[in-house]
Amino acid sequence: MSPFNLSLPVAIGCDHAGFDYKEAIISFLDGKNVSWKDFGTYSADSVDYPDFAHPVAEAVENKEAAFGILVCGSGNGVAITANKHQHIRAAICWGEELAGLARKHNDANIICIPARFVRENLVEKMIEVFIHTDFEGGRHQNRVKKISCS
């Protein structure tokens, strides 16, 4: 059972460095019967990551998506961009343990994947962990509430 409302699609986006991984992630989600909405990019041609990170973050923020997946070379650009949105908690993850902690301790709603630093088979495992890990709440709830600037 997933803590996310998987009756909604997963919002997914990337820049040129993440394009191949995004395509593999879409195939992985299809294999799990998880719906998705692709916010681009749609090729490996050079693009600006904010053009794809903002729409993914907006879809998650507006509850039009269950959660988000963003991929770029380092994960930093898409995470910085997504985290500009008030109700987004985008976490850079390069391992299963980090994906789990991002959910358990930070209630992350977007996983940011550094395509140049993780292997494709690990990406699938991280997403699986992210999808199925609950937020622990408790002492972490107060900390997450303090993240917002408003």
Q: Where do the domains of the chain lie? A: 10-145
Q: Whole-model pTM above 0.85?
A: yes
State the pLDDT at residue 92. 98
Strands (E), the chain: 10-14, 36-38, 68-72, 90-92, 110-114
* Cα distance between residue 71 and residue 113, in whole Å: 5
Catalytic residue among 54, 85, 87, 105: 105
pLDDT digits (tens, 9 = 90+) for 8-23: 999 999 999 999 999 9
Q: In the CATH scheme, what architecture does the domain 10-145 have?
A: 3-Layer(aba) Sandwich (3.40)
User: Is omega for the bond preceding 81 within 30 degrees of 0, making it cis?
Assistant: no
* Cα distance between residue 41 and residue 19, in whole Å: 7
Sheet containing 110-114: give its strands across.
Answer: 36-38, 10-14, 68-72, 110-114, 90-92
Q: Does residue 93 carry a catalytic annotation?
A: no
Residue 127, CA atoms < 13 Å, CB-side half-sphere? 29
* Residue 12 contacts residue 130 (beta carbons within 8 Å): no
Q: Does residue 149 carry a catalytic annotation?
A: no
- Confidence band (pLDDT; 50, 70, 90) for 129? very high
Catalytic residue among 14, 16, 72, 112: 72
The β-bridge partners of 70 are: 13, 112
Model confidence at 141: pLDDT above 90: no
Among 121, 132, 133, CA closest to 28 = 121
